[in-house]
Amino acid sequence: MVLQGVECREADVVAFFGDAPAETRVELAGRAVAIGVAGLRAMGVAGHVELVEREFAKLSHQFDRALATTEGQLLERVHSTFDPERAESVSARLAGSVADAHGLCTFVQADICTCRFHYPARKRCCQSV
């Protein structure tokens, strides 16, 4: 690549090339252009990286919201299934079944004990009561 008629008036560039020996200026200019191109490309990549980071942050935020919603739904399901304070839960129904069964056993036990008064041979059944 040959650059003819390229002019730059930026003080840092003029000072840099002004301090360099005349015989090295052509080589320095070529290196400066190469480094400048690499820098411009890196800036372009950096811009793409920033775009990817922004989009990733959006997706991450959406995922966090969806996860929180799902977590809330799962916790509600666990509570509705196992919370003994909720009448429809498995725990509450099991507690009700146990209480009902205990009430039936107490009723049967009381009935057996009253039998001993009618049937003295059954005294043994009530000795454990």
> pTM for this structure?
0.38
Selection from 101, 102, 78 nearest residue 91 by Cα: 78
Q: What is the residue-averaged pLDDT of the chain?
A: 79
Token pair recorded at residue 89: 């839960």
Least confident of 26-30, 95-99, 101-105: 101-105
Has residue 90 got a pLDDT over 90?
no
Q: Which residue is associated with the tokens 């320095």? A: 28
What pLDDT shows up at residue 129?
A: 46
Rounded average pLDDT over 88-103: 74
Token pair recorded at residue 104: 């039936």
Rounded Cα distance, 48 and 68, in Å = 30
